[in-house]
Chain A
């Protein structure tokens, strides 16, 4: 890596101030950023570690019943502390990477990075979550803007993510055999006012909602409601691990399985 300075603020305000410096960058769990630095693919002058900020840690339930997760909360913490409130979300967190990744990597880092094969974006979009930053609240529908691209501004910090709790939900992750990220991941969440289905891993535009499936499932929350529905293979990722056609097919399979498993 190139040399950099590091700061470890203990409040959001100090972190935001520290991030004003030129080429300063937030450091969550470092599970994406540190490998990037090691490969010398990024050269921040300063890293601002968010791991010492108490107000960005942990899981709680808000007055409206939503599960609120601090932006610097690790996947391992979510898998433990959200289990009682939002089991589908906790289960997703428990299958990200390996124990080392789960004990370092954070929800804020994952959502800020918006890897097209990452898991959390599917949960956030399917849950209609709110991404809370140091200066605003962003609806998930407005937040994800394509592969590795989000509504965040330079220096903006995800301080919290609020997930409305669905009646039933499930995440089906079909593993990319090497990285074990999602080759295709589908998160289905059933709310009183309708079903939301978000797909990760598949599209060249990153995480997306599958509108036809949502309509069909909102009318009839059963796997059979999806019979005959397919997503278009155009615009799906094709690589060493599967063609666009295969990924489009897996979207259908995973969605059915998620509905069957949703509880």
Chain B
């Protein structure tokens, strides 16, 4: 019988009540007495020298409080990058200054050129129109390969070229991989694009800066996935505000998908300006601004080669990727195409030799950074596409080819630096074959053909590294921060519990699933337990939510803190029961003495902790509150197998997804309903990338998909009913819950299966199409069919 509480139960998400009834409290709901509004004047050209900015007329307009330009920010730091990459020659990456407001040069459409703080937003906007810019336009650098060529216009004149770094991994394997490819019985080569995406969380970004002269305290309310990271980056690197004078609050956040990890210029601006004008300063992004100022995702151009022996065993993989950084390095931009991508190129397979080359390029476009999956979707897409192509070239079944090359023994040390702790790729593939009814495909194809449609089946595997991350390891790899997390379990006198966590929930359902864990451990009802998150003045210094890390890392910290609480509570119970600590057992909220009927309830023990009249004060302190920091020993490695079935209309090229199945191994599962929801959402974004979403620039660096009129988001009727399964469970071996993380899997695992399915459909219709770049819009599919 399914449980109705604790680990493995699926209680409804308690936070949804406020989200669905309009009672959520988002950053834009914060309005502070005396607040001003900032309107940013943003560049409408991609690359230009700023000769002058004349704000004199604007400054006299009604309601203008103050106008800021780049000159006002010369004395503060630039927006920092959190990860230093060392290139394949041993040199540090090129790291240009990223100003809060453009100073001297404009480098992308949407960059802030001036900021008008006004009594009202409309007045600020009116004044911004009166600012006179004198610009000299320069050629825009848009195409990455052209940007790499000698003599290209440079995005940053003070750098030696547009190449941020040229990274090789594992560099020592370079020659051996080249040799293995020369010696191979068969090499399959594929060139592909991993399309640039705009994250598009439902809630646009918002920042409200506040300064209190009475105690010299700065507060930033912001739409962030990780308030402590923002406090660290902005306080230490940009504005020079010590932590105890800076509070960062991220209340309800309406989706992040990665793009709200990063520290943005608008946050630094509002914090800085609030002190400068001595009034709160609020910025609410419009959707148009979001398109040109939220960090974009993906944007890789890759050539991958897969070498095989005569028996179709994989012998080597070699890749060459151009990764777009945009005009500046966003917070984690440099790590995405390197450590979050190169380390995943083994996939689920025992390929012995792998070499990954990545050239990270500066271009006159919006900065690119982590987006749901970050690096791992790019790795999975290349590998699973090239394997599919190889199967076709070799005339073998794509599932059989994968199976033959699966890693089967764990732990498994890949040739790309990571060690998979557990997994069972055969189990998820077998589960997929069952839930996707692969055996029934031929019949379904015949039915589609009878209707004049082409039907295709695409399958792929994926593995990801999440539960980010062991601090000592990432430190060696160039991370400028630790990636532990933290939790404080505060037990109140009457036994209810507040858990202060470093993770941040912005759609993940932590407020429901974290209490399930505590409830399981202590045996009190979930409604006695609340999660507190999102405010640096309330929570311990944790690193926030991204990289499917919340439960694996922060949840582990919470378990450790709860264990400390339970140990202390047992001592109190032993005192009350006049027994020895070692004999005390905790079950269903009752402490009992083993082998006796003596017991005391949880609430009596917690009360004793706060009203210590009868209490072992000589041995332990009163109160019941413990904090733990948890630094994981390894990444976690969720893995799975996905199948997509499509119909293609041969007359129009339109693709419809008829079936989509996902068999995932997430290790232990706390709330199966929430996990299914995470997979559903991830697949929607993966299908969005595969079929619809395309962030496109023209050669002048103008964003041509700058609104929903041209940027296609997946809608409900673009998606089928999914079949998802997470019954294959190989628990993580190194964290206390045995959990692996599920937030990104759907977005990582789904694009290759969609593209594989479309290629399969076209091949079945006699079209010799081996690849189409995403998104597979009707026009692209039709063009491919008609040029084949």
Contacts and interface: CB of A to CB of B under 8 A. Distances in A.
Interface of A: 1, 3, 39-40, 174, 177-179, 183, 240-243, 246, 249-250, 253
Interface string B749-788: 0000000000000000000000000000111001100000
B694 interface: yes
What 5 pairs across the A-B complex have the smallest Cβ distances? A242-B779, A178-B712, A177-B712, A179-B709, A246-B779
Nearest to B715: A180
B710 A240 contact: yes
Given A178-B713, A241-B779, A250-B652, 8 more contacts: A174-B652, A177-B692, A178-B710, A178-B711, A178-B712, A179-B709, A240-B704, A240-B705
B578 interface: no
Contacts of A179: 708-710
A32 B705 CA distance: 19
B158 interface: no
A253 B779 contact: no
**Secondary structure of the A contact surface, majority rule:** loop
B725 to A, nearest CB: 30
B651 interface: yes
Contacts of B711: 178
B782 A177 contact: no
Contacts of B712: 177-178
A196 B666 CA distance: 59
B288 interface: yes
Contacts of A243: 779, 783
Given A177-B777, A242-B778, A253 B651 contact: yes
A253 B652 CA distance: 8
21 contacts: A3-B122, A39-B288, A40-B125, A174-B652, A174-B654, A174-B778, A177-B692, A177-B712, A177-B778, A178-B711, A178-B712, A179-B709, A179-B710, A240-B696, A240-B705, A241-B710, A242-B779, A243-B783, A246-B779, A246-B782, A253-B652
A243 B696 CA distance: 15
Contacts of B692: 177-178
A179 B652 CA distance: 18
A64 to B, nearest CB: 38
B189 to A, nearest CB: 28
Nearest to B694: A240
Given A178-B709, A179-B708, A241 B777 contact: yes
B783 A246 contact: yes
Contacts of B779: 241-243, 246
A113 to B, nearest CB: 14
Interface string B694-718: 1010000000110011111100000
Interface of B: 122, 125, 129, 288, 651-652, 654, 692, 694, 696, 704-705, 708-713, 777-779, 782-783
Nearest to A184: B652
A177 B779 CA distance: 10
Contacts of A249: 782
A177 B125 CA distance: 32
Nearest to B129: A40
Contacts of B777: 177, 241-242
A7 B651 CA distance: 50
Contacts of B705: 178, 240
A232 B782 CA distance: 18
Contacts of B710: 178-179, 240-241
A179 B707 CA distance: 9
A241 B711 CA distance: 10
A67 B705 CA distance: 39
A67 B320 CA distance: 63
A3 B122 CA distance: 9
B762 to A, nearest CB: 16
Contacts of A241: 710, 777, 779
Nearest to A257: B651
A183 B652 CA distance: 12
Contacts of A240: 694, 696, 704-705, 710
Contacts of B694: 240
B652 A178 contact: no
Nearest to B126: A2
Contacts of A242: 777-779
Contacts of A3: 122
A1 B652 CA distance: 40
Nearest to B718: A177
Contacts of B713: 178
Nearest to A247: B779
A178 B718 CA distance: 12
Contacts of A177: 692, 712, 777-778
B368 to A, nearest CB: 19
Contacts of B288: 39
Give the most central of A177, A178, A242, A253: most B CB within 10 Å.
Answer: A177
Nearest to A181: B709
A178 B779 CA distance: 13
A174 B704 CA distance: 21
A238 B696 CA distance: 15
A179 B706 CA distance: 12
Contacts of B654: 174
Nearest to B649: A253
Nearest to A3: B122
Contacts of B782: 246, 249
A243 to B, nearest CB: 7
Nearest to B709: A179
A231 B782 CA distance: 17
A3 B126 CA distance: 11
B783 A178 contact: no
A243 B780 CA distance: 10
Nearest to B779: A242
B644 to A, nearest CB: 18
Contacts of B652: 174, 250, 253
A240 B694 CA distance: 9
Nearest to A38: B286
Contacts of A250: 652
A3 B63 CA distance: 15
A213 B652 CA distance: 19
Contacts of B129: 40
Give the most central of A1, A179, A240, A249: most B CB within 10 Å.
Answer: A240
B781 to A, nearest CB: 10
A43 to B, nearest CB: 11
A240 B654 CA distance: 15
B473 to A, nearest CB: 42
B621 to A, nearest CB: 59
Contact of B708 (A40, A174, A178, A183): A178
Nearest to A177: B712
Nearest to B777: A177
B613 to A, nearest CB: 63
Contacts of B708: 178-179
Nearest to A243: B779
A49 B346 CA distance: 63
Contacts of A174: 652, 654, 778
Nearest to B708: A178
Nearest to B652: A253
Nearest to B710: A178
Give the most central of A40, A178, A243: most B CB within 10 Å.
Answer: A178
Nearest to A238: B779
A202 to B, nearest CB: 13
Contacts of B778: 174, 177, 183, 242
Nearest to B714: A177
Nearest to B704: A240
A27 to B, nearest CB: 19
A33 to B, nearest CB: 15
A145 B705 CA distance: 28
Contacts of A183: 778
A246 B709 CA distance: 19
A183 B712 CA distance: 13
Nearest to A39: B288
A243 B782 CA distance: 11
A179 B711 CA distance: 8
A40 B129 CA distance: 10
